[in-house]
Amino acid sequence: MCVCVRVCVCAETETSSGILEYCKWETFNATCDPGSVVLMQSAKYGRMRQGRCASTDVFIGCSADVLTQMDSRCSGREACNIVIPDATLHQQQPCPNDIMAYLEASFTCVQGVLLYSTWVLI
């Protein structure tokens, strides 16, 4: 099976991380075994719901889909680390700038070979 999302990976097996929250000063750490690469499945940045990362219900529900940004930084690599808050992701979310946002993301480790990567210059 080959999967292409800005990178193409031919895979035999997959293991999924599940959707996890990464709060202020925590690090999103996607690390795969040798011979496997990260394939991002989902990523939102903002204040999705009240819980571990957002203890009050202030500005709950403001968020942005940041899968494209996470894809370009993580997919196709054996490991990827992003400390929250992250300036690039923070610019994408619609919450007021002084409200602390968090990352909600999931990824899969795909055993396979990186075929190619496409870069787009803006």
- CATH of residue 79's domain is 2.60.120.740
CA dist 101 and 15 (Å) reads 28
pLDDT at residue number 115 = 62
Contact 114, 4 (CB under 8 A): no
Domain of 12 in residue numbering reads as: 2-117
pLDDT at residue number 43 = 96
pTM for the model: 0.77
Q: What is the mean pLDDT of each run of 10 residues along the chain (122 residues)?
A: 50 64 94 92 92 84 93 94 93 84 94 58 39
pLDDT at residue number 99 = 82
User: Which residues, in sequence order, are CB contacts of 59 under 8 Å at separation 6+?
Assistant: 47, 95, 96, 99
Number of domains in the chain: 1
Q: Is residue 122 in a domain?
A: no
Tokens of 11: 């895979």
Write out the H or E segment, with its range, that includes residue 74. helix 67-74
